Amino acid sequence: MSTMDNKSNYQDDLAGIKGMPQHPKDSPFIVPSNYFQDLEDKIMERIEVIDRSEKSLTVPPAYFDTLAQRIMERIDKEESVAVPIVRLSDDVDHPFLEKLKEVAPTSGFTVPDYYFEKLNTTLQQHLGTGQGNDVEEFQKIIPLNKRKSKFTSWLGYIAAACIAVSLGTYAFFQLQTPTMNSFEKELNAISDSEIVSYLEYYSEPGDGAIFEAQFEGEQGTDQSNFSKEDIEAYLDYSI
């Protein structure tokens, strides 16, 4: 390795410039060992190689004399077979369009009978322009029997109503059923004796009449099941 030759470097000149930072005398860059000694030999070898290759590769006689002409001929030939540049103008139509206009001159769409006559009347009537009115509020005429879009919007409302009813029904039963189930479960967990003792202890004087009225029907049906013997036995015991 060797450092850059600094014999004729610019550092001394730069040092004289006002405000210029003081650079180190030795450059930080280095080259491989003996690089400059071998450089001349490498260059000469390269020149010999180039000379030899130029002598071995030859071109036909007068090649360069006709090269330009041949290039121009090639360009002319390729341009003649190339896709023509599309002329985008009003005057020139695409060839396909000429054929298309022959077979498909219209869009093929039609309108209901007397549509435009009705449309004109409809617009005039509802804007008030046909009768000399100053009605500016416009109510758009939508034939119910033809309104596919309105029908689909009604379908939307119906679907929304169905969902609301379904959710309401589900919510109703969800609110009701768990209450009933939990009440029944709790009631089943209490023994009859506990209920009787509770009622005996907490019942008010008027409760008897309430219970009597509440279970009147049941008592009626039960009475029909009592035999004469049962009634006589009950009366013997009670009185």
Partner 1 sequence: MCPLMEDSIIIEKFANEKTRNEAFNLLLKKYQQRIYWHVRRLVVDHDDADDLVQDIFVKVWRNLENFRADAQLYTWLYRIATNECITFLNKKKQHQHMSLDDDSSSYLAETLTTSHYFNGNQAELKLQQALLTLPEKQRLVFNMKYFEDLKYDEISEVLGTSVGALKASYHLAVKKIEQFFNNHD
Does 100 sit near partner 1 (CB under 8 A)?
Answer: yes
Restricted to residues 134-173, the positions that interact with partner 1 (CB under 8 A) are 136, 138, 140-142, 146-149
Per the structure block, which two tokens stand in for 55?
A: 């002598």
Interface segment toward partner 1; rule CB under 8 A; list 4-12, 43-51, 119-127, 214-222: 119-127
Q: Which is nearer to partner 1, 28 or 84 (CB)?
A: 84
Q: What is the DSSP string of 166-219?
A: HHHHHHHHHHHHHHHHHHHHHHHHS-HHHHHHHHHHH--TTHHHHHHHHTHHHH
Smallest separation, CB 116 to partner 1 (Å): 6
Of residues 32 and 143, the one with the C-beta less far from partner 1? 143
Per the CB < 8 A criterion, the answer to whether 125 and 131 are in contact is: yes
What region does 3 belong to: left with phi over 0, alpha with psi -120 to 50, or beta?
A: beta
Q: Which helix (H) or strand (E) holds 228?
A: helix 228-238
What's the rounded Cα separation, in Å, for the pair 22 and 14?
A: 8
Among 1, 88, 144, 235, binds partner 1 (CB under 8 A): 88
Interacting residues toward partner 1 by CB under 8 A: 86, 88-90, 94, 96-97, 100-101, 103-112, 115-116, 119-120, 122-124, 127-130, 132, 136, 138, 140-142, 146-149
